[in-house]
Amino acid sequence: MRLLLIRHGQTPANVNGVLDAEVPGPGLTELGQQQAAALPAALADRGIERLFVSSMLRTHHTAAPLSAALDIDPVVLPGLREIEAGDLQGARDQTSVQRYLAACYAWASGEREARMPGAETGEDFFDRYDEAVRQIEDTGVAVAAAFSHGAAIRIWAATTAQNVPNDLGADRHLENTGVVELEGSSADGWRLVDWEGEPMGGDDLIDRTAQDPTGERF
């Protein structure tokens, strides 16, 4: 199966550098809506058969234009949600952001028992994300697109893909509506096909002033 993991469009939290993993969370900025609107044309040749979103509003809003273009209703999979922020929810100071990213990086390095302050462990995160991906596989489609979140996509994809180092997610950025493409299955393993870190609609949809803590390199 081909799995396209698509980061949601820009949110106010991305602009202001706020750690926001609360469900359902905010919608999109005006730029985020433009990024979402560019997806049908950008992904027209991918052969997408099914769409999936997390339990967070920003993925629903980002998927809406592609859903309309393909006439496919997205399926909600809560396991695709962002890595929980716990005690760091709503923070934007550098110390809090670094604590959040340090926990994510520890998981990628194999320390899955480490806990995000006041929130889930790496084992919790991988268990629920793995289960969401298995539910996508169970549909039997050849190509699926799942709308998810910056840190979640980066950590899960880089750690799960067998053909890249686990710390790749720390070294690669993922802008809003960037896409990470994998091929394989949970049973046989996954390999990274492409890491498209820029917005799918092109450079005009990049906000170079946004502070975006979960999209930048760790």
What would the pLDDT profile of 4-18 be if each residue is shown by its tens digit? 999 999 999 999 999
Q: Is 90 exceeded by the pLDDT of residue 41? A: yes
- pLDDT for 115 equals 97
Active site residues per annotation: 8, 82
- Token representation of residue 71: 């006439």
- pLDDT for 183 equals 98
H or E stretch at 51:
strand 50-53
H or E stretch at 183:
strand 179-185
* Average pLDDT score over residue span 101-127: 96
* Average pLDDT score over residue span 55-62: 98
The pLDDT-based confidence of 172 (bands split at 50, 70, 90) is confident
- pLDDT for 57 equals 98
CB contact at 8 A, 21 and 37: no
* Residue type at position 199: P
- Token representation of residue 147: 């709308």
CB contact at 8 A, 15 and 215: no
* Average pLDDT score over residue span 74-80: 98
- Token representation of residue 90: 């709503």
- pLDDT for 93 equals 96
Domains and CATH numbers, the chain: 2-205 (3.40.50.1240)
- pLDDT for 36 equals 98
The pLDDT-based confidence of 217 (bands split at 50, 70, 90) is low
Percentage of the chain lying above the pLDDT 70 cut:
99
Summarize pLDDT for 117-166 with one digit per residue, the tens: 999 999 999 999 999 999 999 999 999 999 999 999 999 999 999 999 88
